[in-house]
């Protein structure tokens, strides 16, 4: 089973938008809108990306970075100490699809995008690394990336009916390729490291494809061809959380999605492996903090 495709289909892009930023040193731009995940492609020049008070990571022409967790971050000229301009303020002052900012120094041109996942609470999103970095090749995006960059740039500038959906689909393909590129190269524990391990990928595929099964650490270990202890240790090390915790979060995420689609409690309970509505309701309230019926009424906009 192609686990990466399976998980990306579950998460689904809801929308995406891009601007071409022409920036002259000294400059700094902050990206901190809630829920937005950034795509930044350096077309010319150089810059760095930083999260919080951490050290910046140097970027050069041709590089692609994805801020996959929607964490606030700053792009800036190397060594710049100017106060960052919020990206929203830059966008409001921009002409369609283009913006300029900064001083009179070295120029950097960046194609900056933001995208939203339909399933923002999907457990795989929390298990992605904070930053995915695809280095350029001789000052250009890698050959597999260049076509996506050209298509997204053309669509951003041309616009027209359906443009947001077109850019969302192009972004889905770009992100999928970037994730594939980074399989096995992630610095942090998380989903990509789990998918890069064939035995753990098998367990992840089972959990996502058949959440109603009565999975235990022992049964997942057996399906992965590992002992119970070896599987539990390996899963926790590579994914950053215990297998049963991952399974619970996936089931509850699936339950929330089904409740939003107005599925009955009985149907939801059966779909995620609970023997009764009462057992499901108790587990849902422990995990989410509200009973499933109240969650569904609130999501519809009614008073619980």
Predicted local confidence at residue 212, as pLDDT: 95
Q: Residue 123: pLDDT band by 50, 70, 90 thresholds? A: low
Check which CATH number belongs to the domain holding 226 and give it.
1.10.10.60
| Together in a domain, 77 and 166 | yes
* Residues 244-294: tens digit of each pLDDT: 999 998 899 889 889 988 899 999 999 999 999 999 999 999 999 999 989
Cα 123 to Cα 69, 200, 219, 249, 252: the distances in Å are: 11, 16, 21, 6, 10
Check which CATH number belongs to the domain holding 137 and give it.
2.60.120.280
Predicted local confidence at residue 124, as pLDDT: 66
| DSSP, res 95 | B
In a domain, 117, yes or no: yes
In whole angstroms, give the CA distance from residue 34 to residue 149: 25
* Residues 163-200: tens digit of each pLDDT: 777 887 888 888 888 888 887 666 677 777 888 899 99
Of 125, 157, 182, the domain-final residue: 182
Predicted local confidence at residue 299, as pLDDT: 56
Mean of the per-residue pLDDT values for the chain? 86
Q: Residue 26 in contact with residue 98, Cβ under 8 Å? A: no
In whole angstroms, give the CA distance from residue 120 to residue 75: 24
Helices 198-209 and 243-260, packing angle to 10 deg: 30
Give how many domains the chain has, as a whole number. Answer: 2
List helix spans (H) across the chain: 3-11, 87-92, 123-126, 143-158, 163-182, 191-196, 198-209, 217-224, 228-239, 243-260, 265-271, 277-288, 292-299
| Together in a domain, 143 and 206 | no
- What order do you get walking across the sheet with 85-86 strand by strand? 57-60, 46-50, 73-76, 28-31, 85-86
| Together in a domain, 176 and 245 | no
| Together in a domain, 152 and 29 | yes
Domain that holds residue 178: 3-182
* 107: pLDDT strictly greater than 80: yes
| Together in a domain, 295 and 178 | no
């Amino acid at each position: 089973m192609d686990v990466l495709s399976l998980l990306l289909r579950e998460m689904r892009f809801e929308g995406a938008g891009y601007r071409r930023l022409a920036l002259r040193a000294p400059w700094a731009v902050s990206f901190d809108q809630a829920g937005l995940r950034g795509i930044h492609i350096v077309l010319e020049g150089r810059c760095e990306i930083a999260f919080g008070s951490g050290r910046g990571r140097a970027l050069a022409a041709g590089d692609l970075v994805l801020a996959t967790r929607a964490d606030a971050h700053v792009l800036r000229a190397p060594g710049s100490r100017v106060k960052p301009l919020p990206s929203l303020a830059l966008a409001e002052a921009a002409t369609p699809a283009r913006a300029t900012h900064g001083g009179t120094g070295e120029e950097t041109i960046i194609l900056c995008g933001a995208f939203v996942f339909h399933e923002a609470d999907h457990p795989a999103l929390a298990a992605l690394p904070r930053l995915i970095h695809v280095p350029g090749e001789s000052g250009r995006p890698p050959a597999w990336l260049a076509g996506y960059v050209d298509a997204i740039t053309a669509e951003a500038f041309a616009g027209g009916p359906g443009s947001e959906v077109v850019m969302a689909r192009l972004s889905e393909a770009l992100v999928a390729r970037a994730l594939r590129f980074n399989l096995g190269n992630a610095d942090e524990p998380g989903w990509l490291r789990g998918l890069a391990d064939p035995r753990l990928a098998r367990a992840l595929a089972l959990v996502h494809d058949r959440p109603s099964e009565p999975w235990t650490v022992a049964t997942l270990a057996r399906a992965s061809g590992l002992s119970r202890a070896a599987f539990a240790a390996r899963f926790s090390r590579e994914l950053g959380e215990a297998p049963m915790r991952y399974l619970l979060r996936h089931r509850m995420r699936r339950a929330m999605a089904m409740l939003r689609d107005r599925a009955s409690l009985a149907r939801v309970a059966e779909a995620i492996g609970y023997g009764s509505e009462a057992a499901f309701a108790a587990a849902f309230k422990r995990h989410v903090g509200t009973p499933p019926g109240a969650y569904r009424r609130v999501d519809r906009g009614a008073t619980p």
